[in-house]
Amino acid sequence: MPAWEQRKLGELTESYSGGTPAAGESEFYGGSIPFIRSAEIAAESTELFLTEKGYESSSARMVKPGDVLYALYGATSGEVAVSRQKGAINQAILAILPRDDCDARLNIRSF
């Protein structure tokens, strides 16, 4: 069995967090884009949905099934999950996307 190679996470992944549209703007919510909050990082569905206008007006970012999600703060701070859905994330979530030669569980594939 080959020895483990020590690498910095940033060498193997890209990461980013999201954002939240203004809460008082009703035209930003109720659309078709799932809005993933930190308590929902391992869920198959969300309670809130954004409109295209809401998504575009914020710094929310999209994730897809298989992306690694990390809850940055709040009641779920430190929890990690592999996303089970496509949707937009808020600022309390860090998306960690493995490079093409790594899988979502961060096991190194053959180069």
pTM score, whole prediction: 0.83
The tens-digit pLDDT sequence of the chain (111 residues) is 677 788 888 888 899 999 999 999 999 999 999 999 999 999 999 999 999 999 999 999 999 998 999 999 989 999 999 999 999 999 999 999 888 776 655 444 443
Amino acid identity of 20? T
Distance between CA 55 and CA 57 in Å, rounded? 6
Distance between CA 37 and CA 48 in Å, rounded? 9
Distance between CA 94 and CA 28 in Å, rounded? 22
DSSP, res 27: G
Q: What is the pLDDT of residue 3?
A: 79
Q: What is the pLDDT of residue 49?
A: 98
Distance between CA 73 and CA 55 in Å, rounded? 22
